[in-house]
Amino acid sequence: MSSDNANRSTAQRQARDLRFFLTVPHPCSYLSGREATTLFLDPQEPPTADVYDALTLLGFRRSGANLYRPHCGACSACVSVRIPVEDFTPSRTQRKLMQRNRDITTRLRPTLFDERHYALYASYIRARHADGDMFPPSRDQYRLFLTQTQPFAKLLEFWLDERLIAVAATDLLGHGLSAIYTFFDPDPALQRRSLGVFAVLSQIALARQRGLPHVYLGYWIRESQKMRYKQAYQPLEYLDGGRWQRRVPVAALT
């Protein structure tokens, strides 16, 4: 049995011993006119590293203190995706971007509240997501979403000289990094740096440095323009029926 199959089998056994809940149907955040249902781990069950590792292999994500995944009976549009680090080959555009940002330095920090982080987050939300459910930003919202006491939760800072220009929340799992959320300075002068893309490339580099085989990018949705960017990282592995493979599940295309 391959290590991936063994890990998946272990994850499935662990998941059977946990308690989960379903939300009531609610408007889908990604596809207009559709309803979504979310499966989430019992909030009384602390997301320990072992539990988190196991559930990530089964397509779960973390938001704040909650582990969840879509569970929509009539829709299979959301597909968990991950980058196999050793096989990843940057495109010509991505190589140019890495060269353009060679003057940026990164620092990995715990997810403690930092006023500089919050100021950057608030500026990003106001500029980029004023029409979304995270607007208006608040310190309480930020703390619930991105500050955790769990040791696996980290913040990757991006500095241009003495200026903080981006922060990527990322989780260190036993089998990879899970890219949680990135926010950056919306200054038009920084637009050519494509800081969101650079944050993903930096997490791939960090995973490679730490000998971690995957970077988990969350959910790819073919019909959602804002989620299609994940296909720019190749090769990409898709979760299909409990198995990770390098082809798009047929159900996601219909």
Percent of the chain with pLDDT over 70: 93
Measured distance CA(36)–CA(221) in Å, rounded: 13
pLDDT at 47: 78
Tell me which amino acid residue 15 is.
A
Q: Residue 224 class from Cβ within 10 Å (0-12 exposed, 13-18 middle, 19+ buried)?
A: middle
Mean predicted confidence (pLDDT) in 122-141: 92
Q: How confident is the model at residue 46 (pLDDT cuts 50, 70, 90)?
A: confident
Mean predicted confidence (pLDDT) in 217-224: 93
Domain boundary assignment for the chain: 85-209
pLDDT at 199: 98
Mean predicted confidence (pLDDT) in 16-25: 89
Domain spanning 85-209, CATH architecture: 3-Layer(aba) Sandwich (3.40)
Mean predicted confidence (pLDDT) in 125-145: 92
Q: Residue 30 class from Cβ within 10 Å (0-12 exposed, 13-18 middle, 19+ buried)?
A: middle
Mean predicted confidence (pLDDT) in 15-30: 88
Instruction: Reduce the secondary structure of the chain to three states and give it as a string.
Output: CCHHHHHHHHHHHHHHCCCEEECCCEECCCCCCCEECEEEECCCCCCCHHHHHHHHHCCCEEECCEEEEECCCCCCCCEEEEEEHHHCCCCHHHHHHHHHCCCEEEEEEECCCCHHHHHHHHHHHHHHCCCCCCCCCCHHHHHHHHCCCCCCEEEEEEEECCEEEEEEEEEEECCEEEEEEEEECCCHHHHHHCHHHHHHHHHHHHHHHCCCCEEEEEEECCCCHHHHHHHHCCCCEEEECCEEECCCCHHHHC
Q: What is the pTM of this model?
A: 0.92
User: 12-26, 76-90, 109-123 — which is least confidently predicted?
Assistant: 12-26
**Does the structure show a pLDDT above 90 at 148?**
no
pLDDT at 154: 97
Tell me the average pLDDT of the chain: 92
pLDDT at 1: 42
